[in-house]
Amino acid sequence: MEGKKFSLFDFVYKYGTVAVIVIVMLVFSLTNQYFFTYDNITDILRSISIVTFVAIGVTFSLIVGGFDLSVGSTVSLTTIVSASMMVWYQQSAWLTLLVPIVLSLLVGLINALLTVKIRIPDLLATLAMLYIVNGIQMTYSKGYSIYANMPMEDGSTAPGKFQDWFLWLGQGEIASVPVPVILTFLLVVVTHIYLTYTRQGRMLYMTGGNLEAARLSGIPVDRYRTLAYVLSALFSGLGGMLLAARIGTGQVSSGSSMLMDAVAAAFVGFSVFGAGKPNVFGTFVGAILIGVLLNGMTMLNLPYYAYDIVKGIVLALALAITYYQLRRKRKA
């Protein structure tokens, strides 16, 4: 029987993203002797840990055929709130973790209410939530970043500080491996297993694949779409808390830049190993690609304002290859 004809495009579609990462790492290693070192590799993985959390949230909304634009503002909200729990109010570990998580879940539920029940298009609904949540965190913090010994309105200084256990989540190490890297790998593995091998995961994909067909098959599509938006907000909220732990401050609007990086990682993931659909492993590989590019450009002292150009080009190429392949499949 005649072998299957080799297609260069199919090869690029399946392995192009991984090949680009390898090539980029090789180029940066040849131009900078410190790039391919253990410390720098762990720095790259640490730097993408937060983006990966947020990007996995975006991936969940994409799986059900939606798109969550509010993830960046959710990051900002939980960053500010978790910092204030310790610095302003000196709360316990439970409240420091619980309050931001509850708020992120609330954001997800409101997104679901607007998109699933009221049936506002997801882009418009989550764009509205982006502004609302960003306004809330700015109003709550009065536009100031939150840090230890910060001046308060009454002339005193903030009574609390970032607790050691919290900072350990963002800055600590276990056997020389950064804690955020361990948490990220655990999140990727657990989420991949959930989406691939559980009934709920398969139902999420079926909901996004064909909403009407899924509904006619008896799948409670509204419930699964709601679940996707709640998980999207939850992972974004966890990313915001991890960001506060990493930098040791609650920075205002810190999640704004996360949106673009997370969206880019999620869409780049479509083309990883020819998946052609949102998937957690591909999202993680997309985040690694963006992290490697940014780290390498930083080490080469390229101007920071060129970074968005590179990220935009990477995203455009990934989308072009993905959607071209989808058109080929429809014609076949």
Instruction: Please indicate, yes or no, if residue 56 is contained in any of the structural domains.
Output: yes
Instruction: Please indicate, yes or no, if residue 204 is contained in any of the structural domains.
Output: yes
Instruction: Please indicate, yes or no, if residue 225 is contained in any of the structural domains.
Output: yes
DSSP per-residue codes, 54-77: HHHHHHHHHHTT---TTHHHHHHH
Instruction: Please indicate, yes or no, if residue 2 is contained in any of the structural domains.
Output: no
**What pLDDT, in 10s, does the model give residues 89-100?**
999 999 999 999
**Which helix (DSSP H) or strand (DSSP E) does residue 177 occupy?**
strand 177-178
Split into its structural domains, the chain has a count of 1
Exposure of 104 in the CB half-sphere (CA atoms within 13 A)? 33
Higher pLDDT pick, 272 / 27: 27
Residue 255 φ/ψ, nearest 5 degrees:
-90, -5
* pLDDT at residue 217 tops 80: yes
3-state DSSP assignment of residue 157: strand
**Which pLDDT belongs to residue 1?**
42
Q: Domain holding 71: CATH number?
A: 1.10.3470
3-state DSSP assignment of residue 154: coil
Burial 78-112 (b: 16+ CB within 10 A, else e): bbbbbbbbbbbeebeeeebbebbbebbebbbebbb
What mean pLDDT value characterizes the chain? 90
Instruction: Please indicate, yes or no, if residue 1 is contained in any of the structural domains.
Output: no
Q: For the packed helices 179-197 and 38-63, what is the interaxial angle rounded to 10 degrees?
A: 30
Cα 125 to Cα 261: distance, rounded to the nearest angstrom = 21
Residue 82 belongs to what domain range? 8-331
Instruction: Please indicate, yes or no, if residue 3 is contained in any of the structural domains.
Output: no
**What pLDDT, in 10s, does the model give residues 294-309?**
998 888 888 888 888 8
Question: What is the mean pLDDT of the segment spanning 133-155?
Answer: 93
**Which pLDDT belongs to residue 274?**
64
**Which pLDDT belongs to residue 221?**
95
Among residues 30, 21, 68, 43, which one has the least CA distance to residue 266? 68
The pTM score is 0.92
Instruction: Please indicate, yes or no, if residue 190 is contained in any of the structural domains.
Output: yes
